[in-house]
């Protein structure tokens, strides 16, 4: 058995449609191992890779021995480009997945996708165009204008077979438990409703992060 290695963190840069995007990569404790891309909230409302929920998830994954890549969408922080109205941002997620799978510390078949709020919807759109995810986790995902079940870009998800988990709070004004129920009709996924949690997960970010880490660690045994 290989000896456990401490998590190794590094600032990285990767390309998405010719744009340089910045990110923070944490290696799995025992490489090559499991890892996840973690997507942040809306760029036009202050969302970035240092968001409290995104950081909490990355830290919980590291504590569980999993790797992660959190990154800034185009136009955020030191990432090049500008907001692209949920088109280029999908390409950013797919580029992050490709970068993570190419890392020697990561097992390519064990790469998952996590998204929070806007990042959750971008993760859904990217997942609809991706066939080889290990798992998908959504935290208070942004709800499309017509709802999840009626968004044509999400229809390919109806045939997905990877483990999926969707979480929200019972006080979430932007992603209600009812909205998640609509998502579950389209995407085969488990749902978890957190009492007294709002969309910003004030004081509850560690709780949801621990559930995410447990789900990605245990897979089908969760």
Query: Across residues 123-127, what is the average pLDDT?
Result: 98
Quickly list DSSP for 71-113.
EPPTTSTT--S---TTTHHHHHHHHHHHHHHHSTTEEEEEEEE
Is 211 contained in some domain? yes
Per-residue pLDDT tens over the stretch 194-203: 999 999 999 9
62: pLDDT strictly greater than 60: yes
Confirm if 94 and 130 have CB atoms less than 8 A apart: yes
Is 2 contained in some domain? no
% of the chain with per-residue pLDDT over 90: 91
What is the per-residue pLDDT for 2?
A: 32
Is 135 contained in some domain? yes
What is the per-residue pLDDT for 163?
A: 95
Is 23 contained in some domain? yes
Which of 34, 41, 100 minimizes the C-alpha distance to 61?
A: 34
- For residue 192, give its domain range: 9-221
Query: Across residues 94-106, what is the average pLDDT?
Result: 98
Which of 199, 197, 167 minimizes the C-alpha distance to 180?
A: 167
* Average model confidence (pLDDT) across the chain: 94
180: pLDDT strictly greater than 50: yes
Is 187 contained in some domain? yes
In sequence order, the 6+-apart residues with CB closer than 8 A to the CB of 87 are none
7: pLDDT strictly greater than 60: no
- Higher local confidence (pLDDT), 50 or 185: 50
CATH number at residue 205: 3.40.50.1820
Is 97 contained in some domain? yes
Per-residue pLDDT tens over the stretch 82-98: 999 999 999 999 999 99
Is 166 contained in some domain? yes
Residue reference for tokens 């000896």: 3
Is 1 contained in some domain? no
Q: Alpha carbon 123 to chain centroid distance? A: 6
Strand 106-116 relative to strand 164-169, pairing:
unpaired
Query: Across residues 68-80, what is the average pLDDT?
Result: 98
Token pair for residue 161? Answer: 């077979």
Q: How many domains does the chain have?
A: 1
6: pLDDT strictly greater than 50: no
């Amino acid at each position: 058995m290989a000896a456990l290695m401490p998590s190794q963190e590094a600032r990285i840069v990767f390309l998405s449609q010719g744009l340089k995007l910045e990110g923070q990569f944490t290696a799995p404790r025992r490489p090559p191992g499991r890892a996840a891309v973690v997507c942040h909230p809306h760029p036009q409302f202050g969302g970035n890779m240092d968001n409290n929920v995104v950081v909490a998830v990355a830290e919980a994954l590291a504590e569980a021995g999993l790797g992660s890549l959190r990154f800034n969408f185009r136009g955020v922080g030191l990432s090049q480009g500008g907001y692209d109205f949920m088109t280029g941002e999908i390409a950013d997620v797919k580029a992050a997945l490709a970068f993570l799978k190419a890392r020697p510390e990561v097992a390519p078949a064990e790469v998952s996708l996590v998204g929070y709020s806007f990042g959750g919807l971008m993760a859904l759109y990217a997942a609809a165009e991706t066939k080889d995810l290990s798992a998908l986790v959504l935290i208070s995902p942004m709800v499309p204008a017509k709802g999840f079940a009626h968004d044509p870009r999400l229809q390919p998800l109806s045939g997905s077979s990877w483990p999926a988990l969707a979480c929200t709070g019972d006080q979430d004004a932007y992603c209600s438990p009812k909205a998640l129920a609509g998502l579950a009709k389209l995407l085969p996924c488990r749902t978890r409703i957190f009492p007294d949690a709002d969309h910003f997960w004030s004081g509850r970010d560690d709780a949801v992060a621990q559930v995410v880490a447990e789900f990605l660690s245990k897979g089908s045994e969760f």
